[in-house]
Amino acid sequence: MREKAEAGRRTRGEHCLNVFVSYELKSKLKALAKKYDRTAADMVRAVLRIGIPMMEGLSEAEETMVKEYVQLFRKLRKVKALKDI
């Protein structure tokens, strides 16, 4: 029992996140919360749950595009170098 209490003290606050957003975004979140009879915190959690996978997908796509662009650029540079010979 004591171990659980100590573990609870160590992790207390680690699950919290303070985020500063614009007044407009906060208003939209509050309006959605009111419309669907939820708390603003519930709406923020839902948006984060939905947004994180989308952001991961966008980041992976961006990374792939950059890698392919660099490969294409190197290939074109080699072709140009061969033409100059």
Number of domains in the chain: 1
Residue 13: predicted pLDDT: 73
User: What is the DSSP track for 24-84?
Assistant: HHHHHHHHHHHHTT--HHHHHHHHHHHHHHHHHHHHHHHHHHHHHHHHHHHHHHHHHHHHH
pTM above the 0.75 mark?
A: no
- Alpha-carbon gap, residue 52 to 8, rounded angstroms: 27
Residue 10: predicted pLDDT: 61
Residue 46: predicted pLDDT: 94
| Contact assessment for residue 44 and residue 25, using Cβ atoms and an 8 Å cutoff | no
- Alpha-carbon gap, residue 51 to 28, rounded angstroms: 16
Structural domain harbouring 64: 2-84
Per-residue pLDDT of the chain (85 residues; tens, 9 = 90+): 556 656 556 667 788 888 899 999 999 999 999 999 999 999 999 999 999 999 999 999 999 999 999 999 988 888 877 777 6
